[in-house]
Amino acid sequence: MTIVTDAKNGKITEEMKVVAKNEGKDPEFIRRGIAAGRIVIPMTPYRDIKLCGIGEGLRTKVNASIGASSDIVDEEMEIKKAKAAEAAGADTLMELGTGGDFLGIRKKVCDAISLSVGSVPLYQAFITAAKRDGSIVHMTEDDLWYATEEQAKLGTNFMAIHTGINNIVLDRLKAHGRFGGLCSRGGAFMSTWMLHNQKENPLYADFDYLCEILKEHEVTLSTGNGMRAGAIHDATDRAQIQELIINSECAQKAHDKYDLQVIVEGPGHVPLDEVEMNVKLMKSMSGGKPFYMLGPLVTDIGAGRDHIVTAIGASTAAAAGCDFLCYVTPAEHLALPNLEDVIEGVKTSRIAAHVGDMVKYKESRDWDLAMGRARRDLDWNKMYSLALDPQLAKEIRNSRAPEDTDACTMCGNFCALKIVNKSYNLAK
């Protein structure tokens, strides 16, 4: 029995009621969305979490990703990053560590926050094999199943699982080539293993067994995007589209046959004129499943400011119907994000999500309406409270404090709003 089973049977659960209240929706709307596969609420029987609804008709959500690397393993810093991401307003967190104690760090992260936590179990499977046997190509199918179940028992709510990389997809990739190579770590691991061992991807070949594991532990399946473009000139190519076809088929089977909640992941580097098309293509192929977009980055030359590049693409994606955005930090392509990078990445992506929601859901503009009125009235405390980052807004103003406390130092004595307010009333 899963929440999807309940939804299909017409039952409104407590989780549906909580999400409905948070989103300002009728619980029946949430139930119908889950039953149809258009909404998910990542859950786990192993820990209490802040419930988060993702999907059609709901506010666009933002995911933050953290995780130690083979170069930098600082357990306490990863916990600080997780807490900072939650404080900055992230809706979910992915713990993607590839260094140190996989399970130990992830458990401490899960215990430290109330957000839904996601993971990629094949990282653990491949890296464990490399440490044990000297190479990732020695991973066994049992390594994959063991890592998946072990991580589920920690209280992982959703998992990015690369179900769509099969031999047909690799044929497309090899035949077409790539300007920017293969940027997905999961895609690189699995394709290398398949080519060396001349085997099909176990996550695709034994998809039914995978679904049984996820169902037992109430884990939401997020179909991994191993063929996403790492350069805009590779966007929407044959390998990416072939993987999307396979992932969409797997998503339908997981929801229809196993009553699993499913998210479908989408591409990373996409030029601006292809973002909306990618969102609509994914939604059409998957039957409207919640879409988790990695970025997207709309230019390749923004190193050091890729959080801004992503905000441009993410706002367009959200406006077109994307439900779930994976943040990008200023350190993308350059280094493991530090604490400040994580905070900046979350807050920048939250702006992008809101911009997109202003297009999808007109009621989202009420927040901006309140800010407009507060600015008209020179109500600075109200402006701070409405700002996405109240502390930053207040710090900037106070660092250049004006003589006239009604105005700011941009206009000083010649503040347009103050001049007009003295002459006539424009309030409406």
Model pLDDT for residues 21-48, shown as the tens digit of each residue:
999 999 999 999 999 999 999 999 999 9
pLDDT of residue 383: 96
Q: What angle do CA 241, 243, 244 make, to 5 degrees?
A: 60
pTM of this structure: 0.96
Give the span between the Cα atoms of 419 and 285, in whole angstroms: 55
The answer on pLDDT for 423 being more than 90 is no
* 279-288 core/surface letters (b: 16 or more CB in 10 A; e: else): bebbbebbbb
Q: Is-contact 169 246, C-beta < 8 A? A: yes
Write the secondary structure of 104-124 as one string of H (helix), E (strand) and C (coil).
HHHHHHHHHCCCEEEECHHHH
Give residue limits of the domains in the chain: 1-36, 40-360, 379-423
**% of the chain at pLDDT higher than 70:** 100
Work out the average pLDDT over 105-114: 95
pLDDT of residue 406: 87
β-pair type (54-55, 39-40): antiparallel
| Residue closest to 255 by CA, chosen among 214, 293, 306, 295 | 214
**% of the chain at pLDDT higher than 90:** 92
**DSSP secondary structure string for all residues of 368-418:** HHHHHHHHHTT-HHHHHHHSSSHHHHHHHHHHT--SSTTS-TTTGGG-HHH
The answer on pLDDT for 419 being more than 90 is no
pLDDT of residue 413: 86
Q: Which fold has domain 40-360?
A: TIM Barrel (3.20.20)
3-state secondary structure of 264: strand
The answer on pLDDT for 426 being more than 90 is no
Give the span between the Cα atoms of 36 and 38, in whole angstroms: 6
For the stretch 161-191, pLDDT in tens is: 999 999 999 999 999 999 999 999 999 999 9
3-state secondary structure of 84: helix
Of 147 and 428, the one with more pLDDT: 147
For the stretch 222-267, pLDDT in tens is: 999 999 999 999 999 999 999 999 999 999 999 999 999 999 999 9
Give the span between the Cα atoms of 60 and 272, in whole angstroms: 19
**Within 10 Å of residue 224's Cβ, how many Cβ atoms?**
27
Mean pLDDT across the chain, nearest whole number?
96
CB-count exposure of residue 185 (10 Å: 0-12, 13-18, 19+): middle
**Within 10 Å of residue 399's Cβ, how many Cβ atoms?**
8
* Beta bridge pairs of residue 269: 297
pLDDT of residue 312: 98
The answer on pLDDT for 128 being more than 90 is yes
Give the span between the Cα atoms of 34 and 55, in whole angstroms: 9
Give the span between the Cα atoms of 268 and 102, in whole angstroms: 25
Give the span between the Cα atoms of 15 and 12, in whole angstroms: 8
For the stretch 213-223, pLDDT in tens is: 999 999 999 99
